[in-house]
Amino acid sequence: MDSIPGGLTSKYYKGGFDAKMSKREASLILGVSPSANKNKVKDAHKRIMLLNHPDRGGSPYLATKINEAKDMLDK
């Protein structure tokens, strides 16, 4: 059973991205509950973006998906 770095106990999601992001997919990307409050979403987004930012060698595509996930859960 693989776990996400940082001590989270959830498994890696096997599969690609959905054509249109859902709250479920956004919560999987950020590693939070679909009903997480704005502070948890903000903290998760910051932590994941620090690890995946394009300026630090991360993928621009993944950074876009991470930002999209934050926007989805902030609605």
In a domain, 68, yes or no: yes
In a domain, 46, yes or no: yes
Let me know: does 70 contact 56? Beta carbons within 8 Å. no
- In this structure, the number of other CB atoms found within 10 A of the CB of residue 59 comes to 12
Q: Nearest to residue 38, comparing CAs of 68, 10, 75?
A: 75
- In this structure, the number of other CB atoms found within 10 A of the CB of residue 26 comes to 24
Taking only the tens place, the pLDDT of each residue in 46-67 is: 999 999 999 999 999 999 999 9
Euclidean distance between CA atoms 45 and 51, whole angstroms: 10
In a domain, 53, yes or no: yes
Averaged pLDDT, 26-31? 94
Let me know: does 17 contact 65? Beta carbons within 8 Å. yes
In a domain, 13, yes or no: no
Number of domains in the chain: 1
Domain residues for the domain of 33 are 23-74
In a domain, 52, yes or no: yes
Domain CATH code at residue 32: 1.10.287.110
